[in-house]
Amino acid sequence: MAQKKLSGEVFLPSKAVIEKATVKDWDVLNKRAQEDYEGFWSAEAENLHWFKKWDKVLDESNKPFYKWFTGAKTNIAYNCLDVHLTTWRRNKLAFFWEGENGDFKSYSYYYLNKYVCRFANILKSMGVVKGDRVTIYMGRVPELVFAMLACARLGAIHSVVFGGFSVEALHERLEDSKSKVLIVSDGSYVRGKIVDLKGIADEALARAATVEHVVVVKRTGHDINMEAGRDYWYHELCALPMGNQGCEAEVLDAEDPLFLLYTSGTTGKPKAILHTHGGYMVGTYASLKYVFDIHEEDRYWCAADPGWITGHSYIVYGPLLNGATSFMYEGAPSHPYPNRWWQLIEKYGINILYTAPTAIRGLMKYGDAWPQRHDLSSLRLLGTVGEPINPEAWKWYHRVIGRGECPIMDTWWQTETGMFMITPMPCVPLKPGSGGRPFPGLIMDVVNEDGESVKANEEGFLIIKRPWPSMMRTIYNDPERYVNQYWSRYPGYYLTGDSARRDEDGYYWIIGRVDDVIKVSGYRLGTAEIESALVSHTSVAEAAAIGLPHEVKGNAIHCFVILKEGVEATPQLGEELRKHVGHEVGPIARPENIEFVSSLPKTRSGKIMRRVLKAKALGVDPGNLSTLEE
Ligand code: WTA
């Protein structure tokens, strides 16, 4: 099909890429999906296994609590594992793993299934049944994948807490989900040091009462406390006979919950986004298939952490549903040297690499020589996610890592959406810094305050105008907040919380969050979490957190603190407060800078005006100040 001339800087796919691409014409696929949206999704669903087929593809009877594939019976873990065991994929590599210290493990589909069943039986023996919540708090190790799939197999709801979080963050999530079991690793390796995850978990457990059993996976082998009757070593449980039989996957409703994933929102505590077996499965399966176009012989590497949505959808579920071979690496990209990732790509012949702008910028900083010393010719496709990618980083990634030949899939999506929402496909022309157009069939828009579409290239609020299968179903324990936060601003439409513009070619350009979410190195944090950690310190009366531009991290956290009467503002105290936030929320939330102030700008109703603080810090015009109290 003749391409219309696109505006701005455009990178066209090479002939070789188009030849290999499964989808050769994006417009044809999109047209089909737009014209028969439910037909498109049911055709995708047909590629997966259902114990019983659906009565209805999309059920809109109780908006905005949409349901998908109602009446159907399935199990996502069955589709990740069992379906492959009766085909040649039984002997295919499901995933392989390298530790930061060079340890190596690999699992065929056959072998992975054994491990998952054994883990499921361990959970069963602890009384875990369908609907129970299980929290998982580990580094990037294979057992994390086994644990998630084991929960899914039983119909238990997993809640993975990122290993970079700390005591209070873990406590809050244990308490809100009322988890019965916690699965934890003794520690994790981060840049050559051991993070004492079990120690952090012990502190969190002392604050949370619902956990009955703790399964401890040995990774670092450092000294930890094991509480008799509560804590059990995973490897010892594995050695018991009850752990070694198979384990039938529970026959579940398409709408049965699969997992909770806590994420930061506009105000208050992190909220538990709830995803289900059926719709989430169809969405992650189809989106990964079309966008990263994984062929049987490919080795795919999503370098995210399983503790975030990217890991859930595109390290664990999406690749296994597609019968892919994927790689997981435990450590950081630049440890011990900035060639670590390039070395791994060369060593394992990785074909597809999916990472985040912060990692790209971080590695770009070290110059071209590090990647150029390695043979990266196995790479065919690249990907990025998490925050807007600046065109310089995009071009570096394209030219130096991708030899100027690998298209970059800049995928925009959210914990809430479960799957890619705005994304290229290998066959489409790319513009550095833009993710292109919505995934086939989706309808998105950029609107003003009144909900009217804005003109091309004007900034506005990004909304989604049609439900999609892998959408969140609710906020666990708080359906009201689900309605208020996402569906009330523009009734009938989903509010993303991002601002964006759309150019004359229909390409979307994400500008950033318009709420109190700060993206630090692609990690999603809320001002409220950081502020409440600060005020939990005995010296602090009030606090406000904002994000300021940072060359590598995208944003860095800056805090303004009012101390209690009589407490002296010293650099030592500033340092102590930074550490305190690190201890309570996690190292990723540690503020870059603490500034002591005597007052904070507030609205007449007492809301801190972070926008004003940010403008002041950046030395720009703070805009409308009519609601400012003083
Ligand atoms: C941002 C991550 C620009 C955006 C999968 C969104 C992006 C938030 C991109 C969700 C991208 C994600 N370009 N911005 N390609 N991908 N974002 O829930 O602000 O951790 O709302 O999900 O990340 O973050 P979350």
**Could you read off the pLDDT of 566-575 as tens digits, one per residue?**
999 999 999 9
Is it the case that residue 244 has pLDDT exceeding 70? no
Is residue 263 in contact with ligand 1, taking CB distance under 6 Å? yes
Please write the tens of the pLDDT for every residue from 393-409.
Answer: 999 999 999 999 999 99
Is it the case that residue 120 has pLDDT exceeding 60? yes
Mean pLDDT of 151-174: 96
Helix (H, G, I), strand (E, B) or coil at 381: strand
Is it the case that residue 72 has pLDDT exceeding 50? yes
Mean pLDDT of 299-326: 97
Mean pLDDT of 33-46: 98
Q: Which atom of ligand 1 sits closest to the CA of residue 389?
A: 13
The tokens describing 617, both together, are 């810090």
Q: Which atom of ligand 1 sits closest to the CA of residue 524?
A: 20
Is residue 237 in contact with ligand 1, taking CB distance under 6 Å? no
Residue 373 is predicted with a pLDDT of: 97
How many residues comprise the chain?
A: 630
Distance 102 CA to ligand 1 centre (A): 31
Helix (H, G, I), strand (E, B) or coil at 314: helix
Please write the tens of the pLDDT for every residue from 6-26.
Answer: 999 999 998 988 999 999 999
Ligand 1 binding pocket mutation candidate from 415, 519, 525 (most atoms within 8 A of CB): 519
What is the C-alpha separation between 500 and 555, in angstroms, rounded?
Answer: 18
C-alpha distances out from residue 242 to 78, 113, 117, 142, 147, Å: 21, 16, 11, 21, 17
Residue 199 is predicted with a pLDDT of: 98
Is residue 37 in contact with ligand 1, taking CB distance under 6 Å? no
Please write the tens of the pLDDT for every residue from 575-604.
Answer: 999 999 999 999 999 999 999 999 999 988
What Rg do the C-alpha atoms of the chain give, in angstroms?
Answer: 24
Is residue 411 in contact with ligand 1, taking CB distance under 6 Å? yes
Ligand 1 binding pocket mutation candidate from 413, 416, 499 (most atoms within 8 A of CB): 413
Ligand 1 binding pocket mutation candidate from 259, 382, 414 (most atoms within 8 A of CB): 414
Q: Which atom of ligand 1 sits closest to the CA of residue 422?
A: 15
Lowest model confidence (mean pLDDT) among 233-247, 485-499, 527-541: 233-247
Residue type, 480: E
Parallel/antiparallel/unpaired status of strands 325-329 and 93-98: parallel
Mean pLDDT of 81-89: 98
Measured in degrees and rounded to the nearest 5, phi and psi for residue 450 equal -90, 5
Please write the tens of the pLDDT for every residue from 231-243.
Answer: 999 999 999 876 5
Mean pLDDT of 264-273: 84
Is it the case that residue 200 has pLDDT exceeding 80? yes
Residue whose CA is closest, atom 11 of ligand 1?
412
The tokens describing 64, both together, are 């905005």
Is residue 412 in contact with ligand 1, taking CB distance under 6 Å? yes
Residue 1 is predicted with a pLDDT of: 45
Residue whose CA is closest, atom 25 of ligand 1?
414
Helix, strand, coil % over all residues of the chain, rounded to 5: 35, 25, 45
The Cβ of residue 65 has, within 10 Å, a number of other Cβ atoms equal to 15
Q: What is the mean pLDDT of the chain?
A: 95
| pLDDT-based confidence at residue 301 (cuts at 50, 70, 90) | very high
What is the C-alpha separation between 320 and 322, in angstroms, rounded?
Answer: 5
| pLDDT-based confidence at residue 627 (cuts at 50, 70, 90) | confident
Q: Which atom of ligand 1 sits closest to the CA of residue 512?
A: 19
Lowest model confidence (mean pLDDT) among 211-215, 309-313, 520-524: 520-524
Is it the case that residue 456 has pLDDT exceeding 50? yes
Parallel/antiparallel/unpaired status of strands 252-253 and 271-276: unpaired
Mean pLDDT of 422-436: 97
Is it the case that residue 312 has pLDDT exceeding 80? yes
With a CB cutoff of 8 Å and minimum separation 6, the contacts of 626 are none
Is it the case that residue 466 has pLDDT exceeding 70? yes
**Sign of the Cα pseudo-torsion (210, 216, 219, 225, in order):** positive
Parallel/antiparallel/unpaired status of strands 257-263 and 271-276: antiparallel
Angle ∠(89,91,92) on CA atoms, nearest 5: 60
What is the C-alpha separation between 461 and 502, in angstroms, rounded?
Answer: 11
Is residue 309 in contact with ligand 1, taking CB distance under 6 Å? yes
Mean pLDDT of 317-332: 97
Of all residues in the chain, the percent with pLDDT exceeding 70 is 99
Is it the case that residue 2 has pLDDT exceeding 60? no
Is residue 498 in contact with ligand 1, taking CB distance under 6 Å? yes
Ligand 1 binding pocket mutation candidate from 312, 524, 555, 588 (most atoms within 8 A of CB): 524
Residue 317 is predicted with a pLDDT of: 98
Ligand 1 binding pocket mutation candidate from 387, 419, 420, 588 (most atoms within 8 A of CB): 387
Of all residues in the chain, the percent with pLDDT exceeding 90 is 91
